[in-house]
Structure 1
Amino acid sequence: MREPSASRLTRRSLLKGTGAAGVGAFLAGCTGDGASDGTQTSETGGSGTTTETTAAESTATETGGGHSVSMSPVGTVVFDAVPEEVFTVFPQYADMAVALGHGDAVNSVYVPEMSGTTMNHYNHHLDGVSFDWKGLHDPLSNGFSKELLYKLGSDVHLTDPAWATTQSNWDRSDVEEIGSQIAPWFGNFYSGTHSPAPDGYGNYQYYDLWELFGKVAAVFRERERYEALAEVHSNLVSSIREKLPPKEERPSVVRVTLAQDGQSFYTYHLNKPGYWLADTRPLGANDAFADEDWQNLWGTVDYETMLKADPDVILHLWGITPRYSMADTRSKLENHSSGSQLTAVQNDRVYAAGMRYQGPIMNLFQIEMGAKQLYPDLFGEWPRYEDGDHYPEIPEDEWLFDRNEVADIVTGGGR
């Protein structure tokens, strides 16, 4: 683990900020956010303001030898250097750092073994790309603490200060202390679901995943990498959407996580706004629970409700992570008196899905994964996934995006 030296801990002149500055809960939905999910149905609806950021607008503004980047809710942050020590909580930001060629700068991520292993299930297919998660700190293992932030002495905290104020024993004064004494905050959490931000953040703006990635790329001065990867993503989504059948011919789908007791399901939407749905929304499937309003960011349903919905496909969130066994999940469903009656179970269409906390690399693979799971006749069969395996091998002529191109961009060979 890279421990900051005393000189690094006092190197705060390099970065100056201006402006406002339990595993089960994490896997069920999100840590520290019990806000209700939005009811918006449009891509950009929400209680805040959704930006329409282009690649050019995401570029850092030069400030006499340094650069500045603006993002809600942190305001404008001025950097005199590219960050070398980067604090993250949720893995989407770690994945962004890896995609920009700065994965070695990351010093923390939630449940490193789970997050890092999952990221590397995808990175395995990108020559020269990996995330070295061993030895990284878990920022939530003992609660979100200022002590850890002081210990790490990071150059930037890729974490939402509004979210930080919702953590135990935190308020805005603590956020301001960290921003002034250590390093600026630079994160946006509530764009994940377009749920309301905490009190005091009334002008909160929402970004989609790739807009947010563009902001982070500007922090690292990696505009070329960002634009190249954004083009891969745009082409991937366009190629899928142009082949989708009419809505009435698309499968009915649920995205769920089977509870540990095997008797109920955590349920999630597919097509609502927010970057948590950046892998399912482009696929346009019919959400079997589209009309459900669970008040929270996710709901809980029993087998009776699942049978009533009876989806064609079940996507099991977190299924490709080391925290869940798809073999056990399928076994529980098949051996349950009601679960065995589900159409998706009978047709062997219960699939391992990825993580909602996805960065750009994860997003590319998870879009491809979902396309093959939902529309095998259009995009090729999805290989059966075995517990602990990397993302499955897919014949090159059935790739929906070019792994070699992505690897070249990330490692610098394509720049």
Structure 2
Amino acid sequence: MGEKADLTRRNYLTAGSAVLGSSLIAGCSGDSSDPSTTATGTGTTGESDTSTPTDDGSYTASIAPVGDVAFDSVPQNVFTMYNQYADMLVALNHGDAVNSMFVPDMAGPSMNHYYERLGGVSFEWEELPNPYNNFSKEFFYSLDSDVHLLDPAWAITQENWDVTDIEEIADNVGPFFGNFYSGTHSEPQAPYGESYQYYTLWDLFGRVATVFQERNRYEQLRAVHEDLVNTIQTDLPPKEERPTAVRVTLGDGQFWTYHLNRPGFWLADTRPLAANDAFGDETWDGLWGSVGYETMAEADPDVILHLWGMTPRYDMETVREKLTSHNVGSELSAVKNDRVYAHGMRYHGPIMNLFQIEMTAKQLYPDIFGAWPTYQDGDHYPEIPSDEQLFDRDRVAEIITEG
């Protein structure tokens, strides 16, 4: 393991903070409770952090709400929680540094379903522990991570954690470097709200790239993303000609519902497609809501994107059977027209974002971007003919594996 990364400045305030209950796996498991509220933070930033190493090789990276973090060397042993950070490390060719990951038996296979289409890119997840199962200081000490890609503002919402625990782990193990609430632009609890900033997925990726001194890989991948988004948005039809769509997860007798076009990197795969969100005017107490079949029938979207449908957590054949066997569900336009699609993961990083944008484009606008191929549960991301691909797989694989 490399030299321990050194935290030189903390924005951690010493004011006490009430501990909030966690809803980490809400939306995966069907739990809709969430402590977050509508964002009132300090705004967004489109700037990506850069840093030039000093003569002794040390360098600094910056992220809100942590502040500036100095590193003696590139981290070799890295704590990750949400899967976007693991995907970022794979994109930077540092996937072998990951020492933990949220629900690895769901996320790991799902990530590799995408990586299968990138020659030489894969991720070893089988032996990784799930931090959510043991979110204790003892667990953090046992991992002995060089850096924790984790937002301290989120960490203090967990049971038995407060700012002093964050400081202890940062001082004795390794610094924190993460930003959670940019996912939905929801509001962090005190004492972090005043120092908070919101980032896009790709701006957040840029800051992580600085930690690993991989700005060149980051800039090249960002160019691929920008080209993909520009290509799609140039060809989008007028708003009135776009389909109505919902992003949902089917539960027992109800649909867990999510927005398509709101701010936040959790929507970085649907927002660029700008479909007409059938529930776009709805405001929920938490980050998502739930509706019954009758409400879904009233909205009657043209397209149903089933979140987590390409993960081992859901069987899309069963999902479709539930819909077609229900007296109301069977009458939904998306069901009758065979436009209920397996969708990706909400916690997705840059590589997954490329694939999930392409996927969503084909599911929403097949006449423009080519039809989405048939997908069977457990399959890898479908092979798409090269002339129908919306980004160059070989180019992405080359950037990751060769730099």
Match of 2:18 in 1: none
- RMSD of equivalent CA atoms: 1.7
Q: Alpha-carbon deviation of 1:31?
A: 10
Match of 1:264 in 2: 254
Secondary structure in structure 2 of the residue aligned to 1:372: helix
Cα distance in 2 for residues equivalent to 1:347 and 1:307: 14
- Specify every segment of 5 or more residues in structure 2 that has no aligned partner in the other structure, as ranges: 13-22
Match of 1:171 in 2: 162
Change (3 A) 1:98 1:76: same
* Equivalent position to 1:365, from 355, 361, 366: 355
* Equivalent position to 1:242, from 206, 230, 234: 234
Matched, 1:25 2:26: yes
Cα distance in 1 for residues equivalent to 2:31 and 2:220: 30
Change (3 A) 1:245 1:320: same
Secondary structure in structure 2 of the residue aligned to 1:81: coil
Deviation string 1:36-57 (CA, Å, 9 cap, x unpaired) is 345xxxxxxx532211214xxx
Cα distance in 1 for residues equivalent to 2:334 and 2:46: 38
Match of 1:316 in 2: 306
Q: Alpha-carbon deviation of 1:134?
A: 1.1
Cα distance in 1 for residues equivalent to 2:291 and 2:129: 35
Matched, 1:162 2:169: no
Match of 2:272 in 1: 282
Match of 1:222 in 2: 214
Cα distance in 1 for residues equivalent to 2:109 and 2:69: 32
Question: Identity across aligned pairs (percent)?
Answer: 61
Q: Alpha-carbon deviation of 1:23?
A: 8.0
Matched, 1:273 2:267: no
Match of 2:101 in 1: 109
Secondary structure in structure 1 of the residue aligned to 2:148: strand
8 A contact 2:27–2:256 mirrored in 1: no
8 A contact 1:28–1:266 mirrored in 2: no
Equivalent position amino acid for 1:149 in 2: F
Cα distance in 1 for residues equivalent to 2:293 and 2:25: 20
Cα distance in 1 for residues equivalent to 2:261 and 2:38: 13
Cα distance in 2 for residues equivalent to 1:24 and 1:338: 29
Cα distance in 1 for residues equivalent to 2:122 and 2:190: 39
Match of 2:123 in 1: 131
Change (3 A) 1:206 1:32: farther
Matched, 1:148 2:139: yes
Cα distance in 2 for residues equivalent to 1:29 and 1:175: 30
Match of 1:255 in 2: 247
Deviation string 1:239-280 (CA, Å, 9 cap, x unpaired) is 000000000000000000001x2x001000000000000000
Match of 1:36 in 2: 37
Number of residue equivalences: 391
Matched, 1:49 2:43: yes
Match of 2:174 in 1: 183
8 A contact 2:80–2:148 mirrored in 1: yes
Cα distance in 1 for residues equivalent to 2:41 and 2:276: 25
Equivalent position amino acid for 1:163 in 2: W
Equivalent position amino acid for 2:97 in 1: A
Output the TM-score relative to the length of structure 2.
0.94
Cα distance in 2 for residues equivalent to 1:388 and 1:48: 42
8 A contact 2:32–2:288 mirrored in 1: no
Change (3 A) 1:63 1:198: farther
8 A contact 1:61–1:69 mirrored in 2: no
Deviation string 1:199-251 (CA, Å, 9 cap, x unpaired) is 11122100000000000000000000000000000000000000000000000
Match of 1:43 in 2: none
